[in-house]
Structure 1
Amino acid sequence: MQVLSATLGVGDLANIRFAVSPLWEAVASVRVVKHPDWFPEHLPWHRQVQPRLSAVDWRLLADLVPVPTVVIPGFVCSPPPAAQPTIECELAALAATPPEVVRAGLDELPGPRSPRLAALYADPPAGLARLADTIAAYVDAAIAPYWPRMRTLLEREVLVGAQFMAADGVRGLLNRIDRYVSWDDGTLHVDHLTRAGAVDLDGRGLLLVPSVFGGSRVWSNLSERATQPVLRYPARGVGTLWERGTAPASEALARVLGRTRATLLHELAVPSATTELARRCGLAAGTVSHHLTALRDAGLVGTHRAGRFLLYARTSSAEALIAGAAPTGETGQAE
């Protein structure tokens, strides 16, 4: 184990903030697709997205995330520009990366370059446009159908961090955010497998990004070259993210929405197609489609196209409604 230490001054402490990043989740999830056995908590997700990804050419993205992963080029997942950026916003920033930054990032990758990476190195502007399109297609298939649930979990993690800070200040936040992170006498210590040394954040602040697909370790870019130092850490409760509860739909919710619609919301704990929902619920596909349309019009269900599949997923409003209607433990989720 190695330790990376970062000195935080008054300006850095005043500029500690949180963000979530759909781009980072897409990039980090590549490791799960490549080696699912290393990430057993994400196996249900992997089983669902693997058929959809077969229709997507995401080889350029795969080349940029080697497994085992020692380094991911910083330009592939630069710090999010806002607290809750859209994937479109992050991809626009990616496409605008200066050529010298792209080449410096590619130089950090181990091993020989694939033809796709060689083309990116030779012509960064054109290569970045291809990469942005590649990631957008990958996100549509693998991340977008699940993003409402992922975002809910990540927002909850941000709230936990804010509670740490409210109760015990910055010291309490940085000492409790992750077991591989600690704070002592003005210095942030991060345990790494491959990185060591000492840096001064020099007033640039620190961006804290909870992660679903980051794995059990922390990921950081605290170097002097980083415009925005960032620390990505695993969110709590990731192991329950893909679970479907075994309890029936809430009786209280059924009285408000009707039993069929409450049941469909319950089943949409995992994004699903109409035919799959019909099979699970023992209903005609037309009946399911009718009720899903009503739920979508009410803002409780969203649709996401993944290749030839149209998937339905619960929105954040639906997640809040279910959580408020169900007794503790009924939804199959853990805090």
Structure 2
Amino acid sequence: MPLTLHLGTEDLTRCRFAISPLCQTHEALRMLRRPARHGYHHTWLRRMRRTLAGLDLSPLWLFIPRAGGYTPDFLGPPPQEPCPSIEDELARMRATDPALARAEIARSLACTPGLAESPQGRAALDDPAATVRRLADLTELAWHALLAPDWPRHRAVLAADIADRSRRAAEGGLDALLTDLHPCIDWAGHTLTLRMYGDLAEAQQADGRGILLMPSVFVWPDVVSGFARPWQPTVIYPAVGMGRFHAAPAPRPPAALARLLGRQRAALLTDLTLPAATTELAERHGLAPSTVSAHLTSLRQAGLLDARREGHYVRYERTALGDALVTGG
């Protein structure tokens, strides 16, 4: 039987989205561990080849089975906030209860015959608190090496997916939101069915806290769920538009548009295929944030951009008029 999540009335009113740097780091590591998942990410892997050669992540690989199986949930637990910082998430990971960590470590090691009896496996089980600290330190290293340099663009892809799905939910309700998360996910009769999973007895079931939905660049072609108790029921699915994560960071604007708006404003407008904040744009274009802010204000006043606050950031995105101007539509 597939994994099914039966959503009650309280669950239906508490479905939410989140963007988690820690979970995205976890998914990137899972993708690196399983070569069959590399197809969509050759460009990223080529850029990361030299970085990966200088990293020793072997203690992490112990808990990410190459052929599939269970990875401890405390490596990337569902976040409690919509957009937590990596620092807060790593602090939460380091505070994992040793008893919970040991249970998850044992379950993960059991996926590989003989691993729990190996010297590395016995050491991990004998001192789960030290294992958590070591894995948290390595996860922090992986974050800074693999994701942090690209995080503004990465986050923009995830935010765009959430914005698109939120608009569809506002127009068509939960049916519009949940029917196309992934080809292997079905939604009918208040039940979310994940056909790629067996019925996991230890998986957390819907219990009134709602379902947490998290888009991911690196989870493709899979979908991840089945988090064990006490974590909130969570579905990590491939983000719409994830291919744009590998697009050039600052595309050249059309010559005619540059003559019309000026080179810098045209370049900023062209770059905003995905929503972005002032600091991200300033870094990509080599401009002072104050200069970028002035240009964005002018483009917004002209009706070419919209602005939307997300936590501590204000993100700018093109309006339909801005899209038409860039594409010539």
TM superposition score normalised by structure 1:
0.74
| Aligned counterpart, 1:95 | 94
Does the CA contact (< 8 Å) of 2:251 and 2:267 recur in 1? no
Q: Cα gap change, 1:185/1:33 in structure 2, threshold over 3 Å: closer, same or farther?
A: closer
Letter in 2 for 1:83: P
Structure 2 residue 152 is the aligned partner of structure 1 residue 153: no
- The aligned runs of 1:206-221 (5 Å cut-off) are 206-221=211-226
In structure 2, stretches of 5+ residues that fail to align are 275-282, 294-312
Letter in 1 for 2:195: D
Q: For 1:170 and 1:50, how far apart are their aligned partners in 2?
A: 41
Q: For 2:244 and 2:26, how far apart are their aligned partners in 1?
A: 21
Does the CA contact (< 8 Å) of 1:220 and 1:230 recur in 2? yes
Q: Sequence identity of aligned pairs in percent?
A: 29
| Aligned counterpart, 1:272 | none
TM superposition score normalised by structure 2:
0.75
| Aligned counterpart, 1:284 | none
Deviates more, 1:103-112 or 1:196-205: 196-205
Does the CA contact (< 8 Å) of 1:161 and 1:177 recur in 2? no
| Aligned counterpart, 1:81 | 80
Q: Deviations over 1:142-168 (max 9, x none)?
A: 000111111111011111221222122
Describe the SS at the equivalent of 1:43: helix
Q: For 1:126 and 1:172, how far apart are their aligned partners in 2?
A: 45
Q: For 1:49 and 1:248, how far apart are their aligned partners in 2?
A: 25
- The aligned runs of 1:24-103 (5 Å cut-off) are 24-36=23-35, 38-103=37-102
Q: Deviations over 1:257-311 (max 9, x none)?
A: 756x959x97xx9xxxxxxxxxxxxxxxxxxx9x83x4467578xxxxxxxxxxx
| Aligned counterpart, 2:297 | none
Q: Deviations over 1:77-135 (max 9, x none)?
A: 11012101111111111111111111111122212046555433222222222222211
Alignment match of 1:243 (pick from 242, 247, 255):
247
Describe the SS at the equivalent of 2:151: helix
Q: For 1:295 and 1:118, how far apart are their aligned partners in 2?
A: 53
Q: For 2:121 and 2:258, how far apart are their aligned partners in 1?
A: 52
Describe the SS at the equivalent of 2:2: strand
Alignment match of 1:205 (pick from 199, 203, 210):
210
Does the CA contact (< 8 Å) of 1:31 and 1:65 recur in 2? yes
Describe the SS at the equivalent of 1:241: helix
Deviates more, 1:44-53 or 1:26-35: 26-35
Does the CA contact (< 8 Å) of 1:209 and 1:230 recur in 2? yes
Describe the SS at the equivalent of 2:42: helix
How big is the shift at 1:55?
2.7
**Count, aligned residues:** 289
Does the CA contact (< 8 Å) of 2:4 and 2:199 recur in 1? no
Letter in 1 for 2:22: L
Q: CA RMSD in A?
A: 3.5
Deviates more, 1:2-11 or 1:152-161: 2-11
Q: Deviations over 1:222-269 (max 9, x none)?
A: 55x23311111111121232132896335546887756x959x97xx9
